[in-house]
Amino acid sequence: SQTIHQWPATLVQPVGSPLSLECTVEGTSNPNLYWYRQAAGRGLQLLFYSVGIGQISSEVPQNLSASRPQDRQFILSSKKLLLSDSGFYLCAWSVGGNTEAFFGQGTRLTVV
């Protein structure tokens, strides 16, 4: 069966520090991978989407970047965090073009 791992579960980082969140998927090949952010009082916002290794689409301009160095690995990064980067970050995967996405457990990031 497919599983998705996302870590860490919680993170407190100072403003201006770098960020690296990692997500890996097991039990499937060539998944679509997503990074979402859920800020307080707001819905799930799609940040990045990837259909394959090295292929990244950005949904909104922001202080973040994403990379996909391996088929089942998706990384979210920032060189310098802002207060507004705080939120609940969720990695998700799907297979095919028209199907549901399954979420990891999420990382709650607080920038102080």
Question: What is the binding site for other proteins (CB under 8 A)?
Answer: 32, 34, 36, 42-46, 49, 51, 57, 59-60, 90, 92, 94, 96-106, 108
Least spacing, CB of residue 25 vs other proteins, in Å: 14
Given the complex with other proteins, which of 8 and 18 has the nearer CB atom?
A: 8
Given the complex with other proteins, which of 17 and 57 has the nearer CB atom?
A: 57
Please enumerate in sequence order all residues whose Cβ is within 8 A of that of 108, keeping only pairs 6 or more positions apart, or say none: 9, 10, 11, 87, 88, 89
Least spacing, CB of residue 63 vs other proteins, in Å: 18
Given the complex with other proteins, which of 54 and 96 has the nearer CB atom?
A: 96
What phi and psi values does residue 84 have, to the nearest 5 degrees? -70, -5
Distance CA 83, CA 45 (A): 17
Distance CA 21, CA 106 (A): 10
